[in-house]
Chain A
Amino acid sequence: MAEIRKYPTKQFDCWNKAKELRMEIYQKLAQKASGEKNWLVVSGGTEGLIGLPAGLGDDYIPFGGEPYGASTGAMGKSEQMMAYCEAKGYARDLCGYCRNYLGSTFGDKFTFGGKYPHPDFYFQLHFCDTHGKWYQPAAEYTGKPYFVIDIGASYRWPKWNESEERKKNKFEYVLAQMHDSIVWMEKITGRKYDDEKLADAVYNEILSTSIWAKCCELNKNIPAPMDEKSMYAFYVIHVLRRHTKEAVEFFNILYDELQDRIAKGIGGAEYERYRMLHNSQPPWYALHIFRYLEKFGVVCIGSQYDFMLSGGWDYYYDKNDVPHIRAAEPPVDLKEKLKTRDGALRALTSWLLDYGLQIKSFRFPMIERRNIDVAIAKDWNCQGVIMHLNRGCEGWAVGQLEMRRALVEAGFPVVTYEGNVADPREFDEARTFARFDAFMESQGLKRLG
């Protein structure tokens, strides 16, 4: 029997920096809740427009519902927060993140300790059915204003032969709403909006998401320099604060470190005899599933979810009509485009509509979305796929079973497990591990050591 190759591995040098950048947001939110500092807190979804309120001033702190819901799950607080939500009559099958967020609002409890940092206003980008509705109960409860930008009529996939007329109409629709949102923010805060800060935010957002995508591309390497569990610690920087220069600096540091790891043959895990793609968010309260897989020498190299949560990917067909994804390149004249408010908003609108693959995936969930997983599985040198049938997030669950069919047709074995992104009551660990065991057996993989 061939010897199983062991790769050198080590903790990331930028690991603590990632943690510091992540926690800084929550520390500031705790200061807001305690009254220590009156940050301008704006709450909403984080896939979209966290850069837009940046023009209101340097005291702006984005408070993202999804990463907060995930952190609540990872920190074992979901059942407490969800109970507050369910006590108000909200259904138990509602989005897991949404229940954590609303529960914390109603219970006035912050996952990171203390009272809840109720925001100054709510600001959302809508493309998932839950998005627009999510902050309605919160805004009613706190009496704070709420604005939503609708990007649900997104560009279609390339094969749908969308006319330029249709695309222009969609572009103008999103752009007009963005302009309106700035007027609205000025009105409700009484502040003058600073277009230079907007330009910086848009510049940083576009660069951050592009560099993160390039970091993910480096995971095509064997061994993959990042395992998926590490990726969760990094991608969250662009989820929480991709509009800041600190995020751009961080992703540049990470990119360099990944190249260095590749040059030295350093892997994200010691053994990598079987590479897998993960589909959907993880069950945040059970991240040890990835450690369990490592016992078989299995590494997860990423997923649509952590690759493209906040944009930055180009989906295209090669000359043989085979679909692929690649990191989107910022426009060469980006700085020039950002000189006016309208220019900055146009640049952001283009970036989201052209390269926001998550948006397209949610609104056009099957006919082409299923190609993305096949493209990643092939181009990132995977042998199989793990699919989290996720009862806690409609958006990432849409189209999952058709994706599974496409992967199987393309020759990738798929193991599914059922769970919920945030609600541990819907996850059966023993059953999940039993399914993994059976899958590994079918692939001829025995536990190492």
Chain B
Amino acid sequence: MGAIEKFQEIYENRHDYANIWKAKHPGGKTLGCFCTYVPEEIPYAAGVLPVRVLGSHEIEDYTAPHLFGMFCPFCRDVLAQGLQGRYSYLDGICDANCCMHLLQSFEAWGLNVEPRPKVLRVDAPCTTQSPHSSPFLKGELECFKKDVEEWVGKEITQNDLDHAIEIYNENRRLMKKIYELRKGDRPPITGLESMYMVVSSQLMDKEEHNSLLKEVLKELEQRQLDREVGTRLMMVGSENDDVEFIRMVEQKMSLPATIVIDDHCTGSRYFWAEVVPKQDRLEAIASRYIYRTPCPNRDWPERRRFPQVLQLAKQWRAEGALVIQQKFCDPHELDIPSLREYLEKNGVPTYFLELDVTMPAGQFSTRVEAFIESLMEDLV
């Protein structure tokens, strides 16, 4: 197995990875992160393994007594994992005042999942646009750092924070390097592999992930994929670890296509911005989370995400964008008509798809193929 394939293995066996990590780190704690706004650098600095809590894309009824069916499929899928005991290795869970959908899963987890984890929370600002957002988050991170220190029973020193920031920044730089390679006429890595790469970074010890990324970069220097690139597509959305969907687009349609770039929180939004070093480490971390590419939920009163999405589409030469949304997500739903109009006015055709826990492959395949056909000058 090459280094690239290792990402998929981690994604598919994420719980094994965490359990092995715990075996290798006696007394080490794992922290389930419900959103990419959790400032992972801080628990990582304390020797904790941050693990993104994700769903499994299976039909379930475990959450029916806890979450009303009008809430997004992702938040229900996440809670279902906890209720089925799949994350029993988690010592704590953490949310960053993200969306109300996931906040429900987070609190329902704290109430109902055994063994009961330590419940930590970062009361992050809901907007990233106020001039007071970053100073406020810095103050909140000071409190969060104390919470983590109390939980693990040790002080987080400046050196610990520096080490964590460096590891995380290196991870971001390496993944960006790999994303850069997707700008080429023949990207050496597919959209599916790229998603496995990003999501596995949310599940692994970043230091180990960095080693893997360095191996992958070497592999990619020589790699020639035996597949047609076809139409270059961008994916825009929220939590979209729908690997079956990307597999369908890239491997199972009669018209070839490749996802060359994305804007979602299991993709570029997770790692694009680095922590810019400052004398005050928590201020530096706070700035990173405020000025990163925003989730639509925190992008108001202006729409600052749109120009960034367009820039990615242009730089990676996307011929069209698949705008994908988890059903029932109001912040995305209030962006999508304007986002589509914005992209289309700027020469990026779009196609909208609404996701649920599982993916209707037949229907989506027909629809995406029709969209790709509309982008092609010539079918032959």
Bound form: Cα–Cα A397–B67 in Å: 9
Interface mask (A125-143 → B, CB under 8 Å = 1, otherwise 0): 0111110111111011000
CB < 8 Å neighbour of A134 from B146, B334, B354: B334
What is the bound-complex CA distance between A394 and B101, given in angstroms? 8
Q: Which residues of A contact B330 (CB under 8 A)?
A: 94-95, 98, 129-130, 133, 394
Bound CA–CA A426/B139 (angstroms): 44
B300 contacts the other chain (Cβ, under 8 Å)? yes
Say yes or no: B70 contacts A150, CB within 8 Å.
no
Tell me if A389 is interfacial: C-beta within 8 Å of chain B: yes
Which of B100, B119, B336, B337 is the one whose CB lies under 8 Å from A394? B100
Of the candidate stretches B120-128, B198-206, B222-230, B247-255, the one touching chain A is: B120-128
Residue pair A137, B103 in contact (C-beta under 8 Å): no
From A139, A148, A163, A401, contact of B127 by CB (8 A): A148
B65 near A401 with CB under 8 A, answer yes
Q: How far is the CA of A166 from the CA of B139 in the complex (A)?
A: 7
A25 interface hit (Cβ, 8 Å): no
- A153's partner among B100, B125, B338, B354 (CB-CB below 8 A) is B125
How many of chain A's residues have a CB under 8 angstroms from any CB in B? 57
Query: Does B56 count as interface, using CB distance less than 8 angstroms?
Result: no
Asked whether, in the complex, the Cβ of A398 is within 8 Å of the Cβ of B140, the reply is no
Q: Given A150-B127, A163-B143, do A395 and B100 touch, yes or no (CB 8 Å)?
A: yes
Q: Name the one of B124, B132, B142, B354 contacting A176, with C-beta atoms under 8 angstroms.
A: B132
8 Å CB interface, B107-135 against A = 107-108, 110-111, 119, 123-127, 130-133
Q: Establish whether residues B66 and A88, one from each chain, have CB atoms under 8 Å apart when the complex forms.
A: no
Residues from chain A with Cβ under 8 Å of B337 in the complex: 88-90, 137
Give chain A residues whose Cβ lies under 8 Å from the Cβ of B71: 394, 397-398
Is B267 engaged at the interface, CB distance under 8 Å to the other chain?
no
Q: Are A366 and B108 touching (Cβ within 8 A)? A: yes
A375-434 with Cβ < 8 A to chain B: 389, 391, 394-395, 397-402, 405
Which residues from B are CB-within-8-Å of A146? 301
A173 contacts chain B at the CB level, 8 A cutoff: yes
Let me know if A169 is at the binding interface, CB within 8 A: yes
Quick check: A152 and B333 within 8 Å, CB to CB?
Answer: no
Q: A150-B125, A398-B100, A400-B68 are in contact. Are A177 and B107 (CB under 8 A)?
A: no
Do A166 and B123 have beta carbons less than 8 Å apart? yes
How many Å lie between the Cα of A132 and that of B126 in the bound state? 9
B139: min CB distance to chain A, Å: 4
Chain B residues with CB under 8 Å of A89's CB are: 336-337, 340
CB distance from A119 to the nearest CB of B (A): 14
Residues of A82-119 contacting chain B, CB below 8 A: 88-91, 93-95, 98
Chain B binder among A202-210, A216-224, A229-237, A357-365: A357-365
Taking a contact as CB atoms under 8 Å apart, the answer to whether A136 and B132 are in contact is: no
Known contacts A176-B132, A398-B103; decide if A94 and B125 are in contact (CB<8 Å). no
Q: Which residues of B contact A126 (CB under 8 A)?
A: 126-127, 300
Q: Which residues of B in the span 59-102 have a Cβ within 8 Å of any Cβ on A?
A: 65-68, 70-71, 97, 99-101
- CB of B70 within 8 A of CB of A93, answer yes
Report yes or no: B65 in contact with A133, Cβ–Cβ below 8 A: no
Given contacts A177-B130, A367-B119, A402-B66, 4 further A-B contacts (CB under 8 A): A133-B330, A137-B337, A169-B139, A401-B65
